[in-house]
Structure 1
Amino acid sequence: MATASPCGPISTYSRVQILHLMQTRSPRTIGEICDATGLHANTVREHLQRLIEGGYVISATEHRTTRGRPRALYSAVTGAPGASSPVARDKVSAAARRGDILRRMLPATASDLDSDATHQLDALIEHLEESGFEPVIDDAQLTVDLTPCPHAAARPEDRPVLCRVHLGLMQGVLTEAGGPLAAEFVREPAAPEECTVQLRVTAVA
């Protein structure tokens, strides 16, 4: 079977780099992103706009206590309070509605997970499909099989960043959806095209 090509707002490695910077520390200014990536400011602005439209990044205006023009500050969407995106919230709600409709039409697709966890998986599946993956969920083992990984052909030195960014995005989707599931780690693959993410159940306050 042919390996799918990465798609969606994070289809370029430059956007992955930008997301990695913001997942490491937020907020970031355009100048900081330019310095870290070597990209031109106009290119960074274009990437940030796509990431905002995709629900992966939010922007805010700097609060200054001194004279000068406030800068735009950019942060990764994590689903936590203060780091949520209207786009991401809409995606989560729409995924839950579509999932509920599917389960009413095909009761056999329902799982033993509670409704919050089920809606988390609805949102996660749609996020991964948008990103070019073909996720297979094991409700019992709490695993997400993404084999064949669209990034298998990436340079070996780029794979760690790609994996960390995608794991962070998955965790952000699960947090945004709200529920007991969290993305824990990417299992060590036996072959480059293999990718399995381990989920876990967390205590919900």
Structure 2
Amino acid sequence: MASARPACGPISTFSRVQILHLVQSLSPRSIAELCEATGLHQNTIREHLQRLIEGGYIIASIEHRATRGRPRTLYSAATGAPEASSSVARDKVTAAAHRGDLMRRAMPAIASDLGPAATYQFDALIEHLEESGFEPVIDDAQLTVDLTPCPHAAARPEGRPVLCRVHLGLMQGVLNEAGGPLSADFVHEPVTPAECTVQLRLTAVTA
């Protein structure tokens, strides 16, 4: 079995995974709330948030206040929905589709049988997962994404439940941003520690 590439990109540290988990669980969040929940210093939180914003995973907004005082900056998860869409994530989806089209001109057989919208979703999803340190193998017949061996779970097995929830949420955000019939449904129960398979679902959009 080939060895997994090291975890990389904006979510390469467990602290950022924790921050993402908190923001995905309840948005928006302030820096003070994130400091209290993680025990990290404000400057460390700010640095992590900046990397997550640059990666297209979090959106910053200014609090609307009805009282006097300096408004806070609040942080929400980028879910790909119209009200929670990141310009960085949109640019990534567009670039992934462009690169995918170039590949399909050379190798037409790699297009998904599920149609062009799903094909572009796969383009965006693959690039996101590769940026996150995975080597995804997609089966568009079974609608599965095999991420075995999972470098994140191997590095921190006790944090696997949080890791899985965060990555599933990020995958769903990418699929939403790309737009199409596919959604990230759940992570299969692993048989071995390194195993990771995500189940996709075909929505009624295809009807």
Q: Shorter-chain-normalised TM-score: which range?
A: over 0.9
Q: Which consecutive aligned stretches of 4+ in structure 1 deviate over 3 angstroms post-superposition?
A: none
Aligned to 1:114: 115
Task: Provide, for residues 168-199 of structure 1, a one-character-per-residue CA deviation record: whole Å limited to 9, x for no partner.
Answer: 00000000000010000000111011100000
TM-score, normalised to structure 2's length? Answer: 0.97
Q: Is the 8 A contact 2:153 2:159 kept in 1?
A: no
SS of 1:165's equivalent?
helix
The equivalences for 1:5-24 within 5 A come to: 5-24=6-25
TM-score, normalised to structure 1's length? Answer: 0.98
Say yes or no: does 1:48 pair with 2:54: no
Shift, 1:156, TM fit: 3.0
Shift, 1:20, TM fit: 0.1
Q: Is the 8 A contact 2:9 2:133 kept in 1?
A: yes
Amino acid aligned to 1:188: E
Aligned to 1:199: 200
In structure 2, what is the Cα distance between the partners aligned to 1:203 and 1:80?
A: 17
In structure 2, what is the Cα distance between the partners aligned to 1:153 and 1:189?
A: 12
Amino acid aligned to 2:166: V
Shift, 1:4, TM fit: 1.9
In structure 1, what is the Cα distance between the partners aligned to 2:61 and 2:112?
A: 40
Shift, 1:24, TM fit: 0.2
Q: Percent identity?
A: 77
In structure 2, what is the Cα distance between the partners aligned to 1:7 and 1:203?
A: 35
Aligned to 2:170: 169
In structure 1, what is the Cα distance between the partners aligned to 2:3 and 2:166?
A: 24
In structure 2, what is the Cα distance between the partners aligned to 1:200 and 1:30?
A: 35
SS of 1:199's equivalent?
strand
Q: Is the 8 A contact 2:153 2:163 kept in 1?
A: no
Residue ranges of structure 1 left out of the alignment (5+ in a row)? none
In structure 2, what is the Cα distance between the partners aligned to 1:73 and 1:203?
A: 34
In structure 2, what is the Cα distance between the partners aligned to 1:130 and 1:164?
A: 18
The equivalences for 1:118-197 within 5 A come to: 118-197=119-198
Amino acid aligned to 1:44: I
Q: Is the 8 A contact 2:4 2:135 kept in 1?
A: no
In structure 2, what is the Cα distance between the partners aligned to 1:22 and 1:111?
A: 33
Amino acid aligned to 2:100: G
Amino acid aligned to 2:44: T
The equivalences for 1:71-110 within 5 A come to: 71-110=72-111
In structure 2, what is the Cα distance between the partners aligned to 1:64 and 1:162?
A: 34
Shift, 1:3, TM fit: 2.6
Amino acid aligned to 1:35: E
SS of 2:84's equivalent?
coil
Amino acid aligned to 2:192: A
In structure 2, what is the Cα distance between the partners aligned to 1:130 and 1:70?
A: 34
